[in-house]
Amino acid sequence: MSDTPSYTPPKVWKWDTGSGGQFANINRPIAGSTHDKDRPVGKHPMQLYSLATPNGVKVTVMLEELLALGHKGADYDAYLINIGEGDQFSSGFVEVNPNSKIPALMDHSTTPPTRVFESGSILLYLADKFGALIPTDPAKRTECLNWLFWLMGSAPYLGGGFGHFYKYAPEKFEYPINRFAMEAKRQLDVLDRHLAENRYLAGDEYSIADIATFPWYGSLVAGIVYDAAEFLDTASYKNVVRWNNEINEREAVKRGKMVNRSWGELNEQLRERHDASDFDLRTQDKLEPEAE
């Protein structure tokens, strides 16, 4: 069995030292803001405070898809929230999301502005507001929401479970890696079997269910998150690979993946987005060409 050292929990857990591992510095057992700082507000109806992690990408792809469909009310300013620096604990951010996690959206087209947090809630809010990327037929809409909620319940096992213990934990322990590798593969198989019979998650229509899911499971099979494609033999989930490739060909998806991105190739980083022209004019290679 495992070489995991044994640990006897104390009677009452106390917050003393950091747990170690990547992101340990931002983990806290209490909610609320740590410092006073207002949110910036730009000129567009939608104000997004985010980062290009899989949860963040869901929303920037959604907004770019809506704009591509001609919904001008979906135009947006996207501000970078550096979660490694604790921006999610500013008073202005916590007013939009008391859970201190990106993505967080403020809809300034309503009076008063509407706050929307939790990526699944944001996708559903925008889909309903614009009547787009969600089927209108009640049975198909329900199937779309089945998969949207499936993703919201499943991804934490992939990210917080498998990804944490396989990639980010300070040491590799067999027990949690086995447990979450098993679950990650089971989830991939759920998707693979469904996508063998369906072009998209909700059937033949591309929808918010796909927009929520591909940044997690698509990125996993593409080897973009956790460097685990070989370990989990993700190439064997052929239908997930086919579906992810197809989604990544979409122009709105290519744009959405660049927004609030502060790592990787400079020409793929649009750290803040305030105008459609920013994709051509304000990527990081243009803003700091000497770094190329």
Residues that bind ligand GSH (CB under 6 A): 26, 53, 55, 83, 88, 100-103, 118-119
Structure tokens at 91: 């008073």
Shortest Å distance, C-beta 74 to ligand GSH: 19
Contacts made by residues 250-253, CB under 8 angstroms, sequence distance 24+: 250/65, 251/68, 252/61, 252/64, 252/65, 252/67, 252/68, 253/61, 253/64, 253/65, 253/214
Shortest Å distance, C-beta 287 to ligand GSH: 24
Q: Which residue has the tokens 């750290």?
A: 271
Shortest Å distance, C-beta 3 to ligand GSH: 29
Residue 103 or 218 having the CB closest to ligand GSH: 103
> 94: helix, coil or strand?
helix
Residue 29 or 138 having the CB closest to ligand GSH: 29
Residue 53 or 284 having the CB closest to ligand GSH: 53
DSSP state, residue 103: -
Residue 101 or 164 having the CB closest to ligand GSH: 101
CA angle 206, 212, 71 (to 5 degrees): 60
Residue 86 or 203 having the CB closest to ligand GSH: 86
- What backbone phi and psi angles, to 5 degrees, belong to 10? -70, 170
Among residues 48, 103, 57, 117, the alpha carbon closest in space to that of 244 is found at: 57
Shortest Å distance, C-beta 164 to ligand GSH: 12
Structure tokens at 118: 């939790």
Shortest Å distance, C-beta 104 to ligand GSH: 8
